[in-house]
Chains A and B, each alone.
Chain A
Amino acid sequence: MTDAPSGLRRLDESGLPLLLARLVVGGAFISLGALKLRDPVAFLKALREYDMFPVAHPWLMNATAAALPGAEITCGLLLLAGVAVRGTALFLLAMLLVFTTAIAARASAVAHEKSLALCAVAFDCGCGAGVQNACRKLAENTGLILLCLLALASRSRRWCWRGALLRRGPAS
């Protein structure tokens, strides 16, 4: 954002956009991770519906279902604390892109199968919140993706405990 207009730069330097992104994305991942952690079997069953994992290697799907809830909570906590903000945002962005693509593909398949409009499709995407409208979920994920991009682009480290792991972030 070094070339951004001074108004945008000043807004970024205030730390408020980054704080908002950290609170929303961090809070969302903590709450959704906690919901999945409460019922790992339900999450495993939901994952299976995506047909993304090889049947011959069940450990792969088991490990994914076992590791993701705790990983989401960990990343959410790191964002809230302001630790390794850009690295955490990039990891969450990668996860969100995979999740969102998978949800869009499945919603589209369900819409085709049941001859419904995409936004009339509701299913349990395994996101932790049970049965949800597909379009609403995709919109939520798009919002989270944009906030992750904001956290990646922000130069501010204000209200961050340790903004970067590999070097200290610039003083706010």
Chain B
Amino acid sequence: MNEVARTVVEAVVIGIAALGVGLLTNSVNRDGLALDRDYFRSAEAPPTAARPPLAAPAPPATHAVPAPAPTPAPAPTAPPSTAPSAFADAAETATAERLREAGLQPLTQAQALAAFQDPQYAAGGTIFVDARKDEEYLEGHVPGAWQLDHYHLERYIDALLPVAHEALQVVVYCHGKDCNDSEAAALDLTGFGVDPARVAVYVGGWTAWTEAGLPVEKGPRGGGP
């Protein structure tokens, strides 16, 4: 074998071994990726294909996490009206349009605040769901918000799903108009049988919430300001 061939063979051996080590590392990494999951299905599939009929049981296979039996849902309330002009800027309006196309309800800043201040919020009739990752949630979130990181669904869905099924309105948010995680998390919920008419996405998200100086809870849920 000449020098060039030896080097090429060595590179192939090293490449295969290194990629194998990489996959092994991923498998033991707490934040590692599931190879068989379609993480971006929600954002790319047509909205009607992204969720089963409401009466159908939750589809655990598409999420690779066990889904509890669906809880009988109370009668839905009317979805909040969202005039496009109520969004802060053109980017928010465009995001809101994308959410509508995905079958979700976009919420303006005023609507999100109204949902938070609604007496139903304290009673669990309205819930907020934070779709950001752990560290960001622990640094601060909407007081009382549940957590649902779309990329680590299995950590949160079992605790959240019964509450989401019972709630009259579920408000999902992530960083703001430039993130898709709230949309993905909202579609996760509707995919698990939560009525889409009750799932809304707060378009301004965490950025708009904090910029408006609204209340913040730090640490785990119920941890206080």
Pick from A38, A41, A68: contact of B151, CB under 8 Å: A41
Whether B35 pairs with A68 at a CB distance below 8 angstroms is no
Give, as a whole number of angstroms, the nearest-CB distance from A132 to chain B. 18
Across the interface, do A70 and B25 meet the contact criterion of CB distance under 8 Å?
Answer: yes
If A67-B23, A69-B25, A88-B11 touch, whether A58 touches B39 (CB-CB below 8 Å) is yes
Check A75–B14 contact: CB distance below 8 A: yes
- Give the docked Cα–Cα distance between A48 and B31 (Å): 18
Q: Are A65 and B33 in contact (CB under 8 A)?
A: yes
Q: Is A59 an interface residue when CB atoms closer than 8 A count as contact? A: yes
Q: How many of chain B's residues have a CB under 8 angstroms from any CB in A?
A: 36
Indicate if the CB atoms of B23 and A66 lie closer than 8 Å: yes
Return the contact of A71 from the options B7, B8, B22, B39 (Cβ within 8 A). Answer: B22
Would A66 and B22 be within 8 Å (CB), given that A40-B29, A58-B39 are in contact? Answer: yes
CB atoms of B10 and A62 under 8 A apart: no
Tell me whether B21 is interfacial, beta carbon within 8 Å.
Answer: yes
Q: Which of B18, B19, B20, B41 has the most CB of A within 10 A?
A: B18
Cβ of B139 < 8 Å from any Cβ of A?
no
Range class of the A interface residue count = 35 or more
Residues of chain B lying within 8 A (CB to CB) of residue A39: 31, 133
Contact code string B53-72 (vs A, CB < 8 Å = 1, else 0): 00000000000000000000
B1-45 to A contact mask, C-beta < 8 Å, 1/0? 100001111111111011111111110010111111111110010
Q: Interface of A with B (CB < 8 Å)?
A: 37-41, 44, 48, 55, 58-59, 62-63, 65-75, 78, 84, 86-88, 90-91, 94, 152, 164-167
- Given A70-B25, A91-B15, the answer on whether A152 and B31 have CB atoms closer than 8 Å is no
Q: How far, in angstroms, from A74 to B10 measured CA to CA in the complex?
A: 15
Contact of B10 among A59, A63, A68, A90 (CB under 8 A): A90
Residues from chain A with a CB closer than 8 A to the CB of B32 are 40, 66
Q: A-B pairs with CB below 8 Å: how many? A: 113
Return the contact of B38 from the options A58, A73, A75 (Cβ within 8 A).
A58
Contact A62 B22 (CB under 8 A): no
Q: List 14 contacting pairs A-B, 8 Å CB cutoff, sorted by A.
A: A37-B29, A39-B133, A58-B38, A62-B33, A63-B23, A63-B35, A68-B19, A70-B23, A71-B18, A74-B17, A74-B21, A86-B7, A88-B10, A90-B7
Check if B7 sits within 8 Å of A67, measured CB to CB.
no
Given known A41-B133, A67-B19, A70-B26, contact A62–B34 (CB-CB < 8 A): yes
Minimum CB–CB distance from A47 to chain B (whole Å) comes to 11
Please list the residues of chain B having a beta carbon within 8 angstroms of any beta carbon in chain A.
Answer: 1, 6-15, 17-26, 29, 31-41, 44, 133, 151
Main secondary structure of the interface of A (DSSP, over half): helix
**Known A38-B31, A90-B10, A90-B11; further 19 A-B contacts with Cβ < 8 A:** A37-B29, A40-B29, A44-B151, A58-B37, A58-B41, A62-B33, A62-B37, A66-B33, A68-B19, A69-B22, A70-B18, A70-B22, A70-B23, A70-B26, A74-B18, A75-B14, A94-B15, A164-B6, A167-B6
